[in-house]
Amino acid sequence: MSGVSRRDMFRVLLGRGREEVPQAPPAAPVASSGGDELALILDRFCLAWQGSFCSVCSERCPEPGAIVVEQGKPRVDPGKCTGCRVCHDVCPAPRNAVFLVARKARGGMIGKTVDETRPEEPDHE
Amino acid sequence: MSTLERRTFLKTSAMAAATAAVSQRAGGAAAAPASDGIHWDKAPCRFCGTGCHVKVGVRDGKVVAIAGHPDAEVNKGLLCVKGYHVGGILYGEDRLKHPMLRRNGVLERISWDEAIDIAARKIMEAPERFAIYGSGQWTIPEGYAAQKLIKGGLSNNHIEPNARLCMASAVTGFISTYGVDEPAGCYDDLDACDVLILWGNNMSEMHPVLFSRFYDRKSRGEKITLIDLGTRRTRTTEFADHYMEFRPQSDLAIANCIAQQLIERDAWDKEFVEKHCAFRADADLTKPDLMGVAIDFENYKQRVAEYTPEKVSEISGLPVEQLRLLGDLFADPKVKITSTWCMGMNQHTRATAINRLVHGIHLLSGKFGSPGNAPTSLTGQPSACGTAREVGTLCHALPGGRLVAKPEHREQCEKHWNLPAGRINATPGHHTVLMWEKFCTPTAEGGDIRTILVQVTNPGQSLPNLHKLFRAKKGLDDKFLIVSDVYPTATTELADLVLPAALWVEKNGVFGNSERRTQQWFKQVEPPGEAREDVWMTIAIARRLYDLGHPGMKDKDGNFIFRFTDDAGNEVPVWEYDRFHEINVDRALYDDYRPLTFLKHKHLAPYDVLKEHTGLRWPVVEQSDGSFRETRFRFSEFDDPFVKKGNGIEFYHSTTNDGRAQIWFCPYEAHPEEPDEEFPFWLCTGRVLEHWHTGTMTMRVPQLRGAVPNNYVEIHPDDAREAGIGNGDKVVLATRRGELELSAWINGRGRPPRGSLFVPFFDQIRQINLLTLDAHCPISKEPDYKKCAARIRKA
Ligand code: SF4
Ligand code: SF4
Ligand code: SF4
């Protein structure tokens, strides 16, 4: 095998492989804030996006179609996500890859909310 | 905020959160950076046979961080979800911390001295009725010590690893084809092949990091073809260029169809076959054996002739075009093909046959012996190859590829162990299914196994047909079950004596992965409570037997069979636990074992070389400059130092002693329990990505347990509709051996075709192996967990 492809192997993970993963239980789930949040999957932390494999969030999401999986990689459809947090609670990634962000502006928030910035590319490279 | 800014923001907060979590856990100041005070060392991952190497971060005596090892050739820094959480397996709340003895039905704490004494006395009562049951998770030194105790000390061959349930058929396939076990190729083939054929092998779920290695090429735009030959749609199917869904058991016909087409089209590799191969078949199909009889090419041709694409299409359900596509690929001399398989081919009532056939089509087409052309079996356990197969912890085997039935092999081991001639028993012991059947049969009715010592495995959940092979032990008062484990399991539920064990980096170890790679690690943290190393238990039991006067515990010169000395040559009584760590017992056992690997050219690297690497692939041969070189491609002159110059390819352990490999003919035969009116479904069982084997370790990691908390039955939507079953409904699944309540999963992770069901086996509460079949391959004795007849109804 050539040196080039050796170096290229798993290039998607360069940077990640050298990070340590804390071996600690996850934080306790936080109650849903009732629909004013939206899940976002951060490719940087998501196993499926990082060359490993995972499908847990899309399997456990109670909202049909809220997590769309293409070629094994999930993304959240903001139009269908209810912000129920299930995906966040079950995500087994070393650093939880699901973030819940506010749909409506909260007091004192700087910048726009996710809904206010729609439509745009999903949060992936 | 722009997308970019938002992303950076999220990244930063997540990093900070993780850093805080680490420092809180270690009791450090909240502001301390995550890496502060962490001592890093290396170890192979505890779980699967892929054999990824991890970096283990320890602070204040605890594993606090894990990272993929960036220098490891297997995984280049990547891990799967289990690997990232491997440190968590040490810290489940219910770790076993003290030896326990069952008195009046209750496990009560006892001392180690008592525990070892009780174990030894039980063995002493009837040494010939004692058995050891271990696994492919035994480290090499652990397996070697157990092997020496029972075969060299007790003159008893009743030792088996759970690898009998997992790799035994790959072994018989390799031995009857090449005369020697284990793959000729290695993972590098995945970097070079044009076509990867997965034979009933859900690689992205079971060997995820290995699949990434292949898939990464595809995502870079390389033209490579993935063929998924399977019996249900899986996570892997999504990445396949061709999904070929066949009727269970018909893989035999498909392989024969490829051979038929190669001959029919006159596209077989005549030069390769004439130089390097011979043909073979079973002498009597009703009594197949390992070696069979020679046949000539004409005979072979005649026998495969009936497997035309048209006929095989009827047997297998594959369209003729798909069968022809397979024929086209194997017929094209320019296409490099790698085949991989795991339990789909090995857990099969005709497992040896299908293994032989897949080797056969690679040999017949000359797709062998160059990078990218290889038939390669994958192992499920971290040391199925290293310990079970190489140390030979099987009832018929001796270390280094030797057999108990061969006088010269027994003699070599007796000499190596300095034992009197004739010490090793010439009769093979009981294979796994028989061992447990005998243990669960009353002594008066011929149940000739009385005491079993179980180490590093969970037969109470992993044996097939559990009512018959495990639970029937209950109430047999003269049977005694000794279990060494790290957590309470389905096996400790029936144990009479429980021994708390050290786990993974709580002890030294050496594992051997699927690609002949031997990997070493050192102890990095203390085991909890009174938990101790399995290898210590084995030696301590042997010493107690020595004290009780068992003659087999002495070598020819009257010395204890586990005699270890320090640098000054003084004997160290390592059976006394407070003296055990004075020397590296692992290293001493490994050094003693290593010369035994030379006979079959499986030369392992010296311990000191091993400890400098993230694993080396045997044969590891010393070079003229004193360095050691690993071998990636066996039997190929360009890489394997044992091939005579000018031979190109040489099968130097050929069963016919002429340097040739055997191309076998084996027919398609129906399964012994095909679906019928009463039980109309095929039932298949297996693993899931997040859990490993029976889940005793992964179910203690909250993230993994949370991701997949229980098992389920996958069912086709049409079958579900007909039975009135909705997604998530409780259903009752039944086979001839029992029934089980599960919830249904429609269009889930795996999608079985109509008439098929799938259930994972990790769930201790809903044990699917109460339902599975103990019918096994007549040659490898490996049971078929992948097929039996079942029915399902709404609960
Ligand atoms: S928050 Fe709930 S609805 Fe939204 S993607 Fe996650 S699981 Fe689905
Ligand atoms: S559960 Fe987490 S790691 Fe898994 S696919 Fe979803 S976001 Fe990615
Ligand atoms: S692929 Fe196997 S060896 Fe690698 S991290 Fe996952 S479980 Fe461990």
- pLDDT at site A34: 53
DSSP 8-class letter at A27: P
CATH of the structural domain B113-166+392-597, one choice from 3.40.50.740, 3.40.50.12280, 2.60.120.10, 3.40.50.300 = 3.40.50.740
Where along chain B do the CATH 2.20.25.90 domains lie? 3-79
Q: Does B14 touch chain A (CB under 8 A)?
A: yes
Task: Classify B38 as helix, strand or coil.
Answer: coil
- Residue indicated by tokens 């031995």: B175
Model confidence at B299, pLDDT cuts 50, 70, 90, reads very high
Model confidence at B600, pLDDT cuts 50, 70, 90, reads very high
Q: Is the peptide bond before B371 cis (omega within 30 degrees of 0)?
A: no
Are the CB atoms for B162 and B340 separated by under 8 Å? no
Is the CB of A67 inside a 6 Å radius of any atom of ligand 1? Answer: yes
Torsion of CA B522, B528, B531, B533, to 10 degrees: 0
Has the ipTM of the complex gone over 0.90? no
**Max CA distance (Å), chain A:** 57
Amino acid identity of residue A48, one-letter, is A
- pLDDT at site A19: 58
Residue B312 contacts by C-beta under 8 Å, 6 or more apart in sequence? B250, B253, B254, B256, B257, B260, B318, B323
Percent of chain B as helix, strand, coil, to the nearest 5: 35, 20, 45
Are the CB atoms for B48 and B385 separated by under 8 Å? no
Full set of structural domains in chain A with CATH: 32-117 (3.30.70.20)
- pLDDT at site B161: 97
Q: Does B37 touch chain A (CB under 8 A)?
A: no
Query: Is B15 an active-site residue?
Result: no
Q: What is the pLDDT of residues B472-483, one digit of tens each?
A: 999 999 999 999
Angle between helices B168-178 and B351-364 (to 10 degrees): 40
Contacting A residues, span 57-76, partner chain B, CB-CB under 8 Å: 59, 71-72
Model confidence at B579, pLDDT cuts 50, 70, 90, reads very high
Q: Does A5 touch chain B (CB under 8 A)?
A: yes
Chain B residues lying within 8 Å of A26, measured CB to CB:
702-703, 706
Model confidence at B19, pLDDT cuts 50, 70, 90, reads very low
Q: Distance between CA atoms of B194 and B210, rounded to whole angstroms?
A: 16
pLDDT at A15 over 50: no
Q: Which of B49, B55, B80, B82 is catalytic?
A: B82
Q: Which two tokens stand for residue B667?
A: 């027919």
Q: Does A85 touch chain B (CB under 8 A)?
A: no
pTM attached to this predicted model: 0.91
Model confidence at A9, pLDDT cuts 50, 70, 90, reads very low
Q: Which of B5, B34, B689 sits opposite A53 (nearest CB)?
A: B689
Q: What is the pLDDT of residues B733-753, one digit of tens each?
A: 999 999 999 999 999 999 999
C-alpha B318: how far from its chain's center?
30
DSSP 8-class letter at B239: G
Cα–Cα–Cα angle for B439, B445, B448, nearest 5°?
40
Are the CB atoms for B380 and B48 separated by under 8 Å? yes
Q: What is the pLDDT of residues B193-229, one digit of tens each?
A: 999 999 999 999 999 999 999 999 998 999 999 999 9
Q: Which of B80, B148, B62 is nearest to B563 (CA)?
A: B148
B63 bridge partner residues? B58
Average pLDDT, chain A: 76
Amino acid identity of residue B204, one-letter, is S
Task: Classify B332 as helix, strand or coil.
Answer: coil
Can you give the three-state secondary structure of A14-29, one letter per residue?
Answer: CCCCCCCEECCCCCCC
Where along chain B do the CATH 3.40.50.740 domains lie? 113-166+392-597
Q: Taking residues B704-715, what's their average pLDDT? A: 96
pLDDT at B486 over 70: yes
Give which of A12, A20, A54, A120 to mutate to test B binding, by max B Cβ within 10 Å: A20
Angle between helices B320-331 and B251-264 (to 10 degrees): 60
Cα–Cα–Cα angle for B237, B239, B242, nearest 5°?
65
- pLDDT at site A114: 65
Q: Which of B787, B699, B709 is nearest to B745 (CA)?
A: B709
- pLDDT at site B629: 97
pLDDT at B27 over 60: no
- pLDDT at site B12: 29
Q: Which two tokens stand for residue B394?
A: 């099987």
Q: What is B681-794's CATH topology?
A: Barwin-like endoglucanases (2.40.40)
pLDDT at B10 over 60: no
Q: What is the pLDDT of residues B440-459, one digit of tens each?
A: 999 999 999 999 999 999 99
Contact residues of ligand 2, CB 6 A cut-off = A 41, 46-48, 54-57, 74, 91, 93, 97-98
CA torsion sign for B785, B788, B793, B795 is negative
Q: Which of B391, B382, B606, B340 is nearest to B513 (CA)?
A: B382
Chain A residues lying within 8 Å of B79, measured CB to CB:
52
**Residue B561: CA atoms inside 13 Å, Cβ hemisphere, count?**
37
The alpha-carbon gap from A20 to the nearest alpha carbon of chain B, in Å, equals 5
Residue A49 contacts by C-beta under 8 Å, 6 or more apart in sequence? A41, A43, A73, A97, A124
CATH 3.40.228.10 fits B173-380+661-665, yes or no: yes
Q: Which of B45, B80, B166, B395 is catalytic?
A: B166
DSSP 8-class letter at B421: T
- pLDDT at site B203: 97
pLDDT at B269 over 80: yes
**Residue located nearest, by CA, to atom 8 of ligand 2:** A46
Record: contact B213-A9, CB cut-off 8 A: yes
Q: Which of B115, B112, B113 is nearest to B103 (CA)?
A: B115
Where along chain B do the CATH 3.40.228.10 domains lie? 173-380+661-665
Record: contact A42-B702, CB cut-off 8 A: no
Least confident of B31-35, B136-140, B635-639, B656-660: B31-35
Burial class (CB in 10 A: 0-12, 13-18, 19+), B221: exposed
Q: Which of B669, B667, B662, B655 is nearest to B360 (CA)?
A: B662
Average pLDDT, chain B: 94
Are the CB atoms for B297 and B662 separated by under 8 Å? no
Model confidence at B31, pLDDT cuts 50, 70, 90, reads very low
Where along chain B do the CATH 2.40.40.20 domains lie? 681-794
Q: What is the CATH number of domain B3-79?
A: 2.20.25.90
Q: What is the pLDDT of residues B229-253, one digit of tens each?
A: 999 999 999 999 999 999 999 999 9
Q: Which of B665, B667, B662 is nearest to B249 (CA)?
A: B667
Q: Which of B167, B395, B697, B699 is catalytic?
A: B167
Model confidence at B378, pLDDT cuts 50, 70, 90, reads very high
DSSP code per residue over B520-581: EE---SPPSTT-B-HHHHHHHHHHHHHHTT-GGGB-TTS-BSS--B-TTS-B--TTSHHHHT
Q: What is the pLDDT of residues B61-95, one digit of tens each?
A: 999 999 999 999 999 999 999 999 999 999 999 99
Q: Distance between CA atoms of B103 and B105, rounded to whole angstroms?
A: 5
pLDDT at A20 over 90: no
Percent of chain B with pLDDT over 90: 95
The alpha-carbon gap from A21 to the nearest alpha carbon of chain B, in Å, equals 5
